[in-house]
Chains A and B, each alone.
Chain A
């Protein structure tokens, strides 16, 4: 099992009247509530945690992109990755990911990832995501073009990384007369690609076609199982290959306590903050028009598919549904081993600094996971070597 320390970098200090006054902490929640002194302290605390995670033996450390929200204060994940690149030396640095359709310039993403690959001596993993609903409002990008821009920006970036002659790229979304990036990436042919998936059949097929690693968003276990199986089926039946566990990642908020009971009580505040407050989008922003292609929407409506709301779900139900991992080290390790077998994923991303968790509580949680859970899982799964990622085994260099 490959263990990834996954950070969202939330800004956890909400005013007491937050619930009465605001429907969401994204897009329109005034940034007067961002205290620069506290924000400054948070950045350094969070980066320390990411660096420490490497010392504790995590295989990967992961950052991601969000805009205009206290859900996560990383509008540029590449800046975070850059600071980590020179302060760590072993762990894979995972940008999960750049929200390419909401960027105006995909070439800039190709350039920055290539630079990061050099700064990290070939330890970079490059994730690509669609961006969340409200971010289409925040960045003024037409959501009806989201899927098209995502797929196209991906193709353009991969071509920019692999081409060795200047080329032209002219479509209705982008026009470049000269694409000729310096530097080219260090890894060959390019850093391993990760996708975030929420079960849209098109995306699943597409990820299977390209053999990219498919990482689930937070969802019930049963849904995720269906998504992973959809990828496998597409890979097998349409594209003629058999994906191993290294093609699948599961990301989940995680809390380890002394006993199951203690863990639940200690995690209740931070976990419920995360699900009840931070995941809430402004009214109408969760699914902007066109973000889900019309045909997918028609099928979902006809099947009567309703995403079960988690914004009032108590921690006990979140555990039961498989949204989160909470319990004693034994419980959590067992659950990971069981789910790892059952769902067939080889990468686990744990969000141990979840929601409004206090600094000392986060430290204990990180340490308990690294020192008690990781070795147990590795023993139980008899699997100590992280699997390689990427279309081919990445050619990496170690720093001296």
Chain B
């Protein structure tokens, strides 16, 4: 079985200067470009099994969001709109103006949906995996800030055996976790991990879309994935079995398999 940290493919690993600060960017493989927007379950930073899997057939581009992983904190960026513009700049910078496959997990799924609604012409396909972002009163995401680290791991993963072991005395790892949570809080404390305006903008999305729900998601209510699938014309909805919210970290092989299958089935086709 593929473990999340088993990753061997050759890749670039660099800090890219942007308008607001340095972005940590991983890039590997060849083929059509896939922009992979990370969530909170599979920690940003090092190259991992998901990068490995997706770079087998694609030109995989995996940045850390501002304030996450090894990217700078960019103090001026403080809401989801700022992130949308940040990524439009990054795509311009990488000369990715059309036919990009966009894959986002959890928080990254929300961001991917925002991007696809804002600039539909850029994206050929869209995968939203366990995305937050649609705000449904009574169905907010579980408050993963109001948890101990252990409780949070248990909420993110379905199978406790898949929870990565972290040495509690490791100051660097503890700092990285705090930084990632701070990044998430910066953009998602209120409105809570969502954009009240997103759902009514999703009609603009033209990319072929797959919404991927995690079977045992204890963080994002199924109502949210259902509403995404309903709001985006022609979107497919698939349930990835045997995993919790952090589906890329928990079942990397099944996750990359499902994503690759969907992206390949539409490969070569331009946006409708």
Contacts of B178 in A (CB 8 A): 289, 294, 297, 301
Contacts of A290 in B (CB 8 A): 182, 185-186
Q: Among A282, A289, A297, find the residue whose CB has the most chain B CB atoms closer than 10 A.
A: A289
Contacts of A145 in B (CB 8 A): 78
Contacts of B174 in A (CB 8 A): 301
Pairs A–B under 8 Å by Cβ, sample size 22 = A136-B189, A137-B146, A140-B189, A140-B190, A141-B190, A142-B185, A143-B185, A144-B189, A283-B146, A283-B147, A283-B151, A284-B145, A284-B148, A284-B152, A288-B185, A289-B182, A289-B184, A289-B185, A290-B185, A290-B186, A297-B178, A298-B175
A307 interfacial by beta-carbon distance below 8 Å? no
The closest CB in chain B to the CB of A297 belongs to: B178
Q: Given A142-B186, A143-B185, A294-B182: A137 and B171 within 8 A (CB)?
A: no
Q: Is the CB of B145 within 8 A of A289?
A: yes
B7 interfacial by beta-carbon distance below 8 Å? no
Distance between Cα atoms of A144 and B190 in the complex (Å): 11
Categorize the interface residue count of chain B. 20 to 34
**B178 → chain A closest CB, angstroms:** 5
Q: Is the CB of B171 within 8 A of A289?
A: no
Contacts of B184 in A (CB 8 A): 289
Q: Is the CB of B182 within 8 A of A137?
A: no
A32 interfacial by beta-carbon distance below 8 Å? no
Contacts of A137 in B (CB 8 A): 143, 145-146
A302 interfacial by beta-carbon distance below 8 Å? yes
Distance between Cα atoms of A94 and B186 in the complex (Å): 34
B118 interfacial by beta-carbon distance below 8 Å? no
Q: Is the CB of A301 within 8 A of B148?
A: no
**A246 → chain B closest CB, angstroms:** 36
Identify A144's interface contact among B146, B151, B175, B185, CB under 8 A: B185
Identify A284's interface contact among B151, B182, B186, B190, CB under 8 A: B151
**A141 → chain B closest CB, angstroms:** 8
Contacts of A301 in B (CB 8 A): 171, 174-175, 178
Distance between Cα atoms of A283 and B151 in the complex (Å): 9
A304 interfacial by beta-carbon distance below 8 Å? yes
Q: Given A172-B78, A283-B151, A284-B146: A142 and B179 within 8 A (CB)?
A: no
Report which A residues bind B (CB closer than 8 A).
27, 136-137, 140-145, 172, 282-285, 288-290, 294, 297-298, 301-302, 304
Q: Given A283-B151, A289-B181, A294-B179: A144 and B145 within 8 A (CB)?
A: no
B73 interfacial by beta-carbon distance below 8 Å? yes
Q: Is the CB of B186 within 8 A of A144?
A: yes
**A140 → chain B closest CB, angstroms:** 5
Report which B residues bind A (CB closer than 8 A).
73, 78, 143, 145-148, 151-152, 171, 174-175, 178-179, 181-182, 184-186, 189-190
Distance between Cα atoms of A262 and B78 in the complex (Å): 56
User: What 10 pairs between A and B have smallest CB-CB spacing?
Assistant: A289-B181, A142-B189, A289-B185, A301-B171, A289-B182, A290-B182, A144-B186, A283-B148, A284-B147, A140-B190
Contacts of A136 in B (CB 8 A): 189
Distance between Cα atoms of A288 and B181 in the complex (Å): 9
The closest CB in chain A to the CB of B143 belongs to: A137
Q: Is the CB of A294 within 8 A of B147?
A: no
Contacts of A288 in B (CB 8 A): 145, 185
Q: Is the CB of A142 within 8 A of B190?
A: yes
List 12 other contacts, CB 8 Å, given A283-B151, A301-B178. A136-B189, A142-B185, A142-B189, A142-B190, A144-B186, A282-B146, A289-B184, A290-B186, A294-B73, A294-B178, A297-B178, A298-B175
Distance between Cα atoms of A172 and B175 in the complex (Å): 27
Contacts of A141 in B (CB 8 A): 189-190
Distance between Cα atoms of A289 and B151 in the complex (Å): 16
**B148 → chain A closest CB, angstroms:** 5
The closest CB in chain B to the CB of A301 belongs to: B171
**A282 → chain B closest CB, angstroms:** 6
Distance between Cα atoms of A399 and B181 in the complex (Å): 52
